[in-house]
Amino acid sequence: MIRLSTVQRVAKNTGIVIVGNVIFRVIALFVIIYLARYLGTADFGKYNFVFAYLAFFGVITDLGLRAILVREMSRNPSITPKLIGNAYIIKLLLTVFAVVLSIIVISFLSYPKDTTTYVYIAAFTLLFISFSEFYSGIFQSNLRMVYNIIARLVYRILSAILIFWIIFSHGTLMQIIAVLVFSEGIKTLISYLFSRKFTRAKFEIDFGLWKYLFKEALPIALSGVLFIIYFRIDVIMLSMMQGDAAVGIYSAAYKLSEPLTLIPHAFMMSLFPLMSGYFETSRDKLIKSYKLSFKYLFMIALPIAIGTTLIADKLILIIYKSPFANSTTVLQILIWALVFVSVNSVLLHLLISMGKQKLSTLSYALCAVANVTLNFILIPIMSYNGAAIATVVTNAVLFLASFYFVSKHLQMLPVHKIMIKPVISGLTMGAFVYYFIDFNLFLLVPLAAIIYLVALLVLKTFSKEDQDIIKKIVSNIPWIRRLI
């Protein structure tokens, strides 16, 4: 059994990440909504293309090193200063190369002059994001993600204020992109200052360490490349095959579903260092953490997917207005990727914690091939809806592959037993939403959540151990403890 003190540490760190990211995502959502309305489908498509394009070069700035650094710092904290010092130099070399390469490549592609110029300016976000993520790894290994959240919130609030000022001043997309570059620089500076609380870099170049880090990180780096292909190639292919307006329609729906991935992301940010430690010390604890994380993330993602599918048309009209009405079907399809993304997050982090990075790379390779093939077939026929279908199917392929590998090298979970009660509860909730679909949306959503929770309780979904863990976590949240 996982010690409750460990569960509390994960819960506290996860809670901080979730709360911080909720605030971050809410602000970001408001910015995206007004950006979409202000820019229109075509320019909003250009905006999203620029950052989807740069995401491919963002892989070069890390090459899988962050995950390996977190793992090594968690396993052996005494070598952290030396690790950080060498990582600084490596990251700088990789990032400069990525920025230069992104500028060169876009110059040879047949994109309009304004799109090319946007990329030139936005490319410098790669430099700042690279080091921000590096400092985030330091916070993660120490289970102190609050510092990363603070830096991100400052970035988001600052950029939001400046972007809204540009919108109300009837500014340009060029100015918006420049603001994002500036804000990323501020975030990186804040992260650097916080990182000095934990350790100072020891600049002692060790090429033997470089060789070890690159060897260990190579499978993750390849996974990163393949991940970007399956994760963002849809926008690139839509841009090339259907134009900016199609990208704008697709991205509007995608931007609504994307923030929901913060739940598995936050949970695994906290659990990954512990999984890495459990692999060295306790197989039983590793299996237990696997079971619990899979169960709860599926239990959370499923009702969101069901509910969003039913109310998608109302959400799109409320948020984006009629010019983006075609985003409704895209959202109804894309939201189901959340279920797979949630459980895939557990499986892929588990493979890395066990030192099976090569298997996660193989899983991503299958996804990359599947996604490119599906997009190539479906986009000419179904445009943005085809891209959405390709995304969901690709995530399903990733689940099948990574679940097979985890089952082979650790343990096979009885997923049918884990899923059956949440599925029944979700369908019960879905029937309620469907029947009262014309009810006030702001009342319908919380009522649906209550129906789902009650159904889970009636079906006795939570074991005695689950209940003990939840009670222990809740009793250690200060404001709840005072109420009790």
Among the listed residues 337, 446, 327, 470, the one whose alpha carbon sits nearest the alpha carbon of residue 398? 337
Contact 36/43 with Cβ under 8 angstroms?
Answer: no
d(CA 125, CA 347): 30
Burial pattern 197-217, b for ≥16 Cβ within 10 A else e, equals ebbebeeeeeeebeeebeebb
**Residue 365 · residue 226 · CB < 8 Å:** yes
Angle between helices 173-195 and 4-58 (to 10 degrees): 140
Q: Where are the alpha helices (DSSP H) in 410-440?
A: 415-435
Long-range contacts of 432-436 (CB under 8 A, 24+ apart): 433/306, 433/307, 433/310, 433/311, 434/310
The pLDDT value given to residue 18: 66
Are 102 and 61 in contact, with CB atoms under 8 Å apart?
Answer: no
Token readout for 143 is: 């289970």
Residue 180 burial (CB count, 10 A): 22
DSSP 202-270: -----HHHHHHHHHHHHHHHHHHHHHHHHHHHHHHHHHHHH-HHHHHHHHHHHHHHGGGGHHHHHHHHH
pTM of the model: 0.76
Instruction: At 389, list the tokens.
Output: 């279908």
Kindly give the confidence (pLDDT) of every residue in the chain, 484 residues in length, as a single tens digit, with 9 standing for 90 and above. 444 455 555 556 556 666 776 787 788 888 988 999 899 888 999 999 999 899 889 888 887 777 777 777 766 666 777 777 788 888 888 889 999 999 999 998 888 899 999 999 999 999 888 888 777 777 766 666 677 788 888 888 999 999 999 999 999 999 999 999 999 999 889 888 887 777 776 777 777 777 877 777 777 777 777 778 877 888 899 988 998 899 999 999 998 888 787 778 767 766 776 777 776 777 777 888 788 888 888 999 999 999 999 999 999 998 888 888 899 999 999 999 999 999 998 898 888 888 887 788 788 888 889 999 999 999 999 999 999 999 999 999 999 999 999 888 888 778 888 889 999 999 999 999 999 888 888 889 999 999 999 999 898 887 776 666 555 444 443 433 443 3
CA gyration radius, the chain: 22
Pairwise CA distance, residues 128 & 47, whole Å: 19
Residue 112: is it exposed, middle or buried by C-beta count within 10 angstroms (0-12/13-18/19+)? exposed
Sign of CA dihedral 80, 85, 86, 90: positive
Single out the residue of 117, 128, 254 nearest to residue 176, CA to CA.
117
- Structure confidence at residue 480 (pLDDT): 36
Give the C-alpha separation, 372 to 79, whole Å: 41
Task: Report the candidate in 310, 328, 318 with the shortest Cα–Cα distance to residue 252.
Answer: 328
Q: Express the helix, strand and coil content of the chain in percent, nearest 5 each.
A: 85, 0, 15
End-to-end Cα distance, the chain: 27
Helix 173-195 / helix 113-122 crossing angle, nearest 10 deg: 10
- Name the DSSP letter for residue 86: H
Closest CA to 279 of 348, 352, 361: 352
Which candidate, 42, 27, 35, places its Cα nearest to that of 320?
A: 35
Alpha carbon 468 to its chain's center: 30
